[in-house]
Structure 1
Amino acid sequence: MGYAVVLGEALVDLLDAEYDGQPVYRQAIGGGPLNVAVAVARLGGDVQFVGSLGDDALAERIRAFLAEAGVGLAGAVTVPAPTALAVATFAGPEPDFRFYGEPRSYALLTAEDLSVSLIEGAQVLYCGSIVLLDPPVLAAARRAWSIAGALRVFDPNVRTRLLDGPGALAALREVVAEFAASAHLVKLSTADAAVLYPGEPVEGVAAYLRELGAGTVVVTLGADGALVAAADDVVRVPAPKVAAVDATGAGDSVMGALIAELLASGEPVDPVGWHDRVAFALRVGGLVCESPGGATSMPTRAALSTRFPS
Structure 2
Amino acid sequence: MGYTVVLGEALVDLLDTERDGEPVYRQAIGGGPLNVAVGVARLGGAAQFVGSLGDDALAGRIRAFLAAAGVGLNGAVTVPAPTALAVVTHDGVEPDFRFYGEPRSYGLLSVDDLDAGLVEGADVLYCGSIVLLQPVVLAAARRAWSLAGGLRVFDPNVRPRLLDGPAALDGLRQVVAEFAAGAHLVKLSNADAALLYPGEPVEGVAAYLRELGAATVVVTLGADGAVLAAADADPVLVPAPKVNAVDTTGAGDSVMAALIADLLVDGAPADAAGWVDRVAFALRVAGVVCESPGGATSMPTRAQVLERFSR
Q: What is the TM-score of this pair, normalised by structure 1?
A: 0.99
Output one character per residue of 1:59-90: Cα deviation in whole Å (capped at 9) or x when no partner. 00000000000000000000000000000011
**2: CA distance between counterparts of 1:172 and 1:157?**
11
1:15 aligns with: 15
1:254 aligns with: 255
Other structure's SS at 2:166 match: coil
2:91 aligns with: 91
1:210 aligns with: 210
Output one character per residue of 1:176-204: Cα deviation in whole Å (capped at 9) or x when no partner. 00000010000000000000000000111
Other structure's SS at 1:33 match: helix
Q: Is 1:79 paired with 2:109? A: no
Output one character per residue of 1:19-74: Cα deviation in whole Å (capped at 9) or x when no partner. 12211100000000000000000000000000000000000000000000000000
2:232 aligns with: 232
Cα distance, 1:166 vs structure 2: 3.0
1:151 aligns with: 151
Cα distance, 1:231 vs structure 2: 1.5
**1: CA distance between counterparts of 2:188 and 2:165?**
23
Contact 1:250 1:289 in 2 (8 A): yes
**1: CA distance between counterparts of 2:280 and 2:79?**
39
Structure 1's consecutive aligned runs of 4 or more residues displaced over 4 angstroms after TM superposition are none
Output one character per residue of 1:132-162: Cα deviation in whole Å (capped at 9) or x when no partner. 0000000000000001011000000000000
**1: CA distance between counterparts of 2:231 and 2:118?**
31
2:124 aligns with: 124
**2: CA distance between counterparts of 1:15 and 1:291?**
15
2:222 aligns with: 222
Q: Is 1:274 paired with 2:275? A: yes
**1: CA distance between counterparts of 2:169 and 2:270?**
35
Give the number of aligned pairs. 310
Cα distance, 1:244 vs structure 2: 1.2
Q: Is 1:160 paired with 2:160? A: yes
**2: CA distance between counterparts of 1:221 and 1:94?**
12
Amino acid of the structure 1 residue aligned with 2:64: A
**2: CA distance between counterparts of 1:217 and 1:166?**
25
**1: CA distance between counterparts of 2:37 and 2:105?**
18
Give the gaps of 5 or more residues in structure 1: none
Contact 1:4 1:126 in 2 (8 A): yes
> Considering only aligned residues, what root-mean-square deviation do their CA atoms show, in Å?
0.9
Output one character per residue of 1:104-150: Cα deviation in whole Å (capped at 9) or x when no partner. 00000001100000000000000000000000000000000001011
Amino acid of the structure 2 residue aligned with 1:292: P
2:102 aligns with: 102
**1: CA distance between counterparts of 2:160 and 2:90?**
16
2:243 aligns with: 242
**1: CA distance between counterparts of 2:94 and 2:263?**
28
Cα distance, 1:164 vs structure 2: 1.4
